[in-house]
Amino acid sequence: MPLPLVVAAALSRHIREFAPGADGTLFTTRFGAPYRHDCYGTRIFSAAVRRAGLPPSTTSHDLRHRYASILLAQGESVIGVSERLGHHNASPVLSTYGHLVPDSEDRTRRAVDSAWAACAPPAPRDDATAR
């Protein structure tokens, strides 16, 4: 997965403040052990949701949906989004997020116009400008 600069910067700050565990785990308890799933979901994630000002009902699945929606809105391909989400094909992305794919009519129109302009013969000259 590509590491966005904003995430790399946040991880760098975290690592400077909290050394990774002996096995390289980045997020550990004060004893250096990885967080248990139940602790992560009930305490850590809920606190992060509160600090971020998100609705209390926000889930990690909601954040996954938001991530996919942002990528599509920014023009990432359906195949690219599918790969980022770990799907083996694009069908789940199309069926879930297809309505978010930007309208492609203008892109299609520009692509055909551009291709046609590149191979079209020069426009005939007006007799007045030819003199």
- What pTM was estimated for this model as a whole? 0.69
- Residue 112 is predicted with a pLDDT of 85
Q: How do the domains of the chain map onto residue ranges?
A: 57-117
Confidence of residue 129 (pLDDT cuts 50, 70, 90): low
Q: What's the pLDDT at 115?
A: 84
State how far the alpha carbon of 1 is from the alpha carbons of 8, 11, 125, in Å: 12, 15, 54
pLDDT in tens, 20-78: 988 899 998 888 888 888 888 878 999 999 999 999 999 999 999 999 999 988 888 99
pLDDT band of 125, cuts 50, 70, 90: confident
The answer to whether the CB of 78 falls within 8 A of the CB of 90 is yes
* Vertex 6: Cα angle to 5 and 12 (nearest 5): 85
Residue 31: what pLDDT?
85
Tokens of 94: 């199309």
